[in-house]
Structure 1
């Protein structure tokens, strides 16, 4: 029996490869002779680099750069053998880099993302994959672009300070000093949201509150992004503000499309293509996937939804082992019928801290119990 184990990470507890090992450990106690293929997955956000490193190899590079509040930190990105760099924006401007009290998208900057890109260009890469997700910023990539040589000036021809609120003062854009290798580099952006740059469904209204914005900050940030896009248009740049995904990562999607000619793609689809996921599923007798919480959002570009769709295309049974299972949205495509089995892994009521700490044991136990049930069923046939 060929078993493909292809989960997402369980946020705040286990990386995707650790979930793979927990599932295999449980299943192999019952089906010791099965052929197991471990394939950690991601949707373009956190863990994307780890997945590609596991499957494709490459080397990690550590870089000194600036965090969202322009303090020096060390971050890493992945260099693949085919002159491709894989950058996760959260490494440079991630929310996890700030304490709760420090989170303020009026002030935070994506400058460090530009520093990572510049370092990758110095390495001679021709293709850059950027994973959006987990950012603490709302500056449309202005900080990133400043680090790459763009100049954003106010009415006095002074450089704008860093931060999303400063974009309202933009009057002039100078691109003469932008990094010369930008134009000859292909940018592929993994994006799992479809929000535009501005408006009720834009970056500020939807995502800024979780980045520390207060209710009174939202109109300021939204107006600043709208003004930024208006000035970009006046300078002859394409009007991408209403494109699906432009509002991702606080408008980084917009900045990358506008100034780097980036292509925004589904993060899951991009990774699935890179790791030849369709063929891996076609070769399997059973697919086991999972994530921290299965809910109505799981069909919206997330790993488990994509795995389910591919498995059904090839008529391969698919099991989902999840930390918890929320009620399904009747209008969602991610119904329980999308999986042959959906199983929460939490073994008993406990504090969130203990549940996260026991994630490996819980997943392992659930996998073993599922395998035992399968074995029992086979014996009854």
Structure 2
């Protein structure tokens, strides 16, 4: 028998590789002869780039960059073991988490620090950059990032302006950097489908959570609109799905870096050769801390069940809050909670490893015995 493990993390208890380890331990309790393939997963958000780095066998490095308000900080990024791929999380340099509540103002923030991380990776000689753009504090269409990479933005008087969100409408001329070393291939993990501007765009949908009031939202939306038209690209090109991600950084990555936007889950699955690892698999076990209505709308388990085709998919979780009909809709044939007695969340988090191990044992033992009877 061959079993593929593809779980997400159990937030607050186990990361995805630890979940795989617990599941594998439970499987070996059934039979040490069962072949186990562990492919820890993420939903495209928090933890995705750490997992990519884990697969690449690399390590984290530190660089001095500027935060969203221009203060010097130290931010981490990753380099693969072979030195060919860099993994960058824009939130480490330009994230909302770096600002106090009263500091949040996307009119004044910039993605300059993200550009500095990219520049550092380029100088390290990598051939590929994978960039995650969740959790931004910015709405600057990536002009801050571009400025760090040598682009200039001039006003009506041919004077260079500060690359912040509130200045987008002041830009009248975009000056690319002088030809130098070619940028590596850049893939952007992007799970947001909002357009760049408009009622569903970056400013209107995400501006308020970054500290923008109604007046600031209007200024930012106009700035994104003006800047997009200044690029000279066709409107159906610059206002497409995903370009509004991270305050327009999705658009900026495509325009300035010639990057490709890709769903985080798909990017991770491609990176770990998920499709190839399905060969001769008898059972797939996935899981996460909570399986509920949000799971039905999410991309991870749906992505797994879509790829599984005729391979049965089971799930182990902390909280199971879906109906049998909902399980059928998502394509899971079996799901089980690790909770086997009344207990507080704090207590459950402490015994997550044992709970995953034991729940996996019960599941696989049942599957193993049924398979033996059939054969």
What is the SS of the residue equivalent to 1:240?
helix
1:37 correspondence with 2:37 = yes
Calculate the TM-score normalised by the size of structure 2. Answer: 0.84
Report deviation, 1:258: 0.8
After superposition, where does 1:139-154 map in structure 2 within 5 Å?
139-154=140-155
Q: Which residue of 1 aligns with 2:55?
A: 55
Aligned twin of 1:370: 363
Q: Kindly indicate whether the alpha-carbon contact (under 8 Å) linking 1:151 and 1:174 is maintained by their aligned counterparts in 2.
A: yes
Corresponding position: 1:201 with 2:200: yes
Whether the 8 Å contact between 1:266 and 1:301 is mirrored in structure 2 is no
Match of 2:282 in 1: 285
| Structure 2 counterpart of 1:257 | 254
Q: Rate the CA distance shift 1:251–1:355 in 2: closer, same or farther, 3 A.
A: farther
Q: Secondary structure at the match of 1:290?
A: strand
Distance 1:152 1:36 in 2: 54
Quote how far apart the aligned CAs of 1:232 are: 2.3
**Residues 100 and 280 (structure 1), Cα distance of their counterparts in 2 relative to 1, 3 Å cut:** farther
What CA distance in whole angstroms lies between the structure 2 residues aligned with 1:72 and 1:2? 50
Structure-2 residue corresponding to 1:159: 160
Do the aligned partners of 1:44 and 1:132 also contact (CA within 8 Å) in 2? no
Measure the CA separation in 1 of the matches of 2:276 and 2:373: 32
* Residues 90-99 or 272-281, more deviating: 90-99
Instruction: Encode CA deviations 1:25-54: one digit per residue, 9 max, x unaligned.
Output: 444444554332221223444333332333
Contact 2:65 2:73 in 1 (8 A): yes
RMSD: 3.3
1:1-381 matches, within 5 Å, as 1-11=1-11, 13-80=13-80, 81=82, 83-177=84-178, 180-181=180-181, 183-233=182-232, 240-295=237-292, 298=295, 302-312=299-309, 315-325=310-320, 335-345=328-338, 359-360=352-353, 362-371=355-364, 373-374=366-367
Deviates more, 1:188-197 or 1:201-210: 201-210
Checking the alignment, whether the CA contact within 8 Å between 1:65 and 1:75 is kept in structure 2 is yes
Q: Are the aligned partners of 1:282 and 1:316 in contact in 2 as well (CA < 8 Å)?
A: no
Give how far 1:246 is off. 0.8
Stretches of structure 1 lacking an aligned partner (at least 5 in a row): none
Contact 1:152 1:173 in 2 (8 A): yes
Residues 160 and 320 (structure 1 numbering): CA distance in 2 closer, same or farther, change over 3 Å?
farther
CA displacement at 1:15 relative to structure 2: 2.6
Rg larger for = 2
CA contact (8 A) 1:286 1:317 kept: yes
Residues 211 and 252 of structure 1, relative CA distance in 2, 3 Å threshold: same
What's the TM-score once normalised by structure 1's chain length?
0.83
Distance 1:349 1:186, change over 3 A: same
1:318 shift after superposition: 1.0
Structure 1 range deviating more: 350-359 or 94-103: 350-359
The 2-side partners of 1:296 and 1:286 are apart by: 24
Equivalenced residue count is: 372
